[in-house]
Structure 1
Amino acid sequence: MAQFVVNAQRFDPYKNFKFRVKWDGRYVAGVSKVSALKRTTEVVKHREGGDPSSSRKSPGRTEFEAITLERGVTHDREFEDWAGRVWTVGNALGAEMSLKNFRKDIILELYNEAGQLAVAYKVYRCWVSEYQAQADLDGNANAVLIQHVKLENEGWERDTDVVEPSETVLG
């Protein structure tokens, strides 16, 4: 397990705009938004037979919410190719897709203002449950055309090998 090093000069939390997403050992181009990492554990209520006035609570199943990645539309086909591993147009009886390699582990890296890796999360066994090739088209708009993938996953954890970077103190 990694040793935690405290950066005595940093009191401010990290910003949410410096991040990168990695899968298959390389960074995914142009990701501009990633939804929150969230897990929820069910509450199981139960009572003891001799105590009719109150119930006890214990943890039940834990669920991990899907993660949505957004980026501007380019010629890069990473989102489309991954989404196509689950379903492709023209699939008919006897021509179904193989689900081999439709899952990926991804890494979400967060950086400090100096561009140093500060925090990372490993997200396990992701697969594309929703793919949007492009957003609505609007002749009156002045915006980037966005595509997104919704990734189901089987859990995530903070990468404890990533230690807090030491930041230079100016002065």
Structure 2
Amino acid sequence: MPRFVESTKRDPFRNFNFRVLLNNVEVYACRKISGLTGTVEVVKFRAGNNLSSVDELSPGRVHYDTVTLEAGLTNDTSFLDWATQLIRHEATPGLRAVEPEYRRTVEILVYDLDQNKPVKKFILHNAWVSKFTAMSELAAEANEILVSIVELQHEGFTSEPVA
């Protein structure tokens, strides 16, 4: 009976060692990030003269799901400033942020178990904040940390090699 020997160890990466960078600066100590999902719509077509009852299927538009970041509330305002950039100026006509200012590159780095080096890098392209929760619910009997939540819209993501 043939025996298969694996030449390299291939343990999957853990989901708890990660960092988020905004325009190449680490700014957000996240506790949770939703998954990165891209979907291609299915376009069904059937010609009127086709004798088959089976639809032809073609790829349609691509859609990327919203990415949600949850983080403990701190005194660092760099991410908060970006998260509220569109909201703050909405009430004042003519002062809303211009497009290049509110779209950012967001990098998600996944680290090895020892947190010494990144092993995976995902980049969200042209991301902007569509929803912001400044802080989680307050409760006198609670024992949790305060959390802020942002929902990001983006125009796709890529996985890039880690240097």
- TM-score (structure 1 length as normaliser): 0.83
Q: Which amino acid aligns with 2:59?
A: P
SS at match of 1:82: helix
**Do 2:102 and 2:128's aligned partners in 1 also have CA atoms closer than 8 Å?**
yes
SS at match of 1:101: helix
- Offset at 1:98? 2.5
Give the structure with the higher percent helix: 2
SS at match of 2:95: coil
1:146 matches 2:147: yes
Give the aligned partner of residue 104 of structure 1: 104
Unaligned runs of 5+ in 1: 1-6, 164-171
Give the aligned partner of residue 120 of structure 2: 119
Report % sequence identity: 30
* CA deviation string 1:60-85 (max 9, x = no partner): 00100111111111111123201222
Give the aligned partner of residue 30 of structure 1: 29
Give the aligned partner of residue 51 of structure 2: 51
Per mean C-alpha deviation after superposition, the further-off stretch among 118-127 and 29-38 is 29-38
Aligned residue pair count: 155
- Offset at 1:30? 1.7
**Do 2:66 and 2:153's aligned partners in 1 also have CA atoms closer than 8 Å?**
yes
- Offset at 1:33? 1.0
Give the aligned partner of residue 74 of structure 2: 74
- Offset at 1:137? 0.3
SS at match of 2:114: coil
**Do 1:79 and 1:149's aligned partners in 2 also have CA atoms closer than 8 Å?**
no
- Offset at 1:86? 0.9
Which structure would you say has the larger RCO, counting Cα contacts within 8 Å and 6 or more residues apart?
Answer: 1
Give the aligned partner of residue 3 of structure 2: none
**Do 1:128 and 1:149's aligned partners in 2 also have CA atoms closer than 8 Å?**
yes
- Offset at 1:87? 2.0
Give the aligned partner of residue 168 of structure 1: none
For the aligned residue pairs, the C-alpha RMSD in angstroms reads 1.9
Cα separation, 2, equivalents of 1:55 and 1:23:
44
